[in-house]
Amino acid sequence: MLMKKTGGILGLVVAGILLSGCGSTMAVTGNGGSASKSVSTESLKAMRWTLSTVQHGKSAPMAKLKAGIPANRYKLTFSDDGVSLQGGCNVASSSFQLNTPDKMTTGEWRSTMMACETPLMRADSEMTDLLGNVANYRLNGQQLILSGGGNALVFNGIVTDESRYGGGGVRKFIEIRNAGQGLSWREVTYDSNWVQNNKNAPWIQGNFPGIRDFKPEMNMTYIVRINEYRDQATGKVVWVKDMVTMQGIL
């Protein structure tokens, strides 16, 4: 579930938000879609965009936000449901609209409500403010420039997993324990109220396929939300981390 961004901190809702698995809930809007508009939309969706630099007015492009957080921490993902911003304290999302081949607007930005260190929360707010003022875009291969309000954001694109593996992944939750006797794991399932319903499921020793972008530390336990894909070239299953929903010390 995504909540409208406010000035308050609702730390107690973190677990529910993380388990809910909701992404963007705002639909992409448009005026029917010309050929160029369709091409631009598909090109945006095919990449995961990492922020490279931010330029405020006529100042030099900066690799850090005003809040002091590295720009490349933030990533944009476009989909049929809207646009999502990840990498900060919270996940934010909005609708987006391509009005002409070079015009873009976004709707109201909404975010989850985790509490983090102040600079990171300030950076989240800075990013949604910048994105909320976007009026133009320029797409050049694997580079995307969003501008508006006198500011410009430059993103570099990497092909999304959906494009790489030829379709959407299957969302799963994997529980992992990395103790002295070795790593053990099992799939976690939940009922409609997000209560774990297989707490007594057996642990699996070995044969761990690995989770891309995730490395469990020793003497730690985790529940990781992943997307499962199948590599069409090799036929092998690929697990990609979406987010860590729980972690603790063994």
Q: How many CB atoms lie within 10 A of CB 187?
A: 12
pTM of the model: 0.62
Q: Judge contact between 78 and 48, C-beta under 8 A.
A: no
Find all residues with CB under 8 Å of 39, minimum gap 6, and list them. none
Tokens of 195: 């209560």
Using 50, 70 and 90 to split pLDDT, how confident is the model at 170?
A: very high
Q: Which amino acid is at 115?
A: A
Tokens of 3: 């909540």
Cα(180)–Cα(159) distance, rounded to whole angstroms?
37
Each residue's pLDDT tens digit, 183-239: 999 999 999 999 999 889 999 998 899 999 899 999 999 999 999 999 888 888 999
Q: How many CB atoms lie within 10 A of CB 57?
A: 8
Each residue's pLDDT tens digit, 65-78: 999 999 999 999 99
To the nearest 10°, report the CA torsion of 155, 159, 163, 164: -170
- Return the pLDDT at 39: 60
Each residue's pLDDT tens digit, 31-75: 333 434 456 788 898 899 999 999 999 999 999 999 999 999 999
Burial of 194-210, coded b for 16+ CB within 10 Å and e otherwise, reads eeeeeeeeeeeeeebee
Mean pLDDT, range 172-186, rounded to an integer: 93
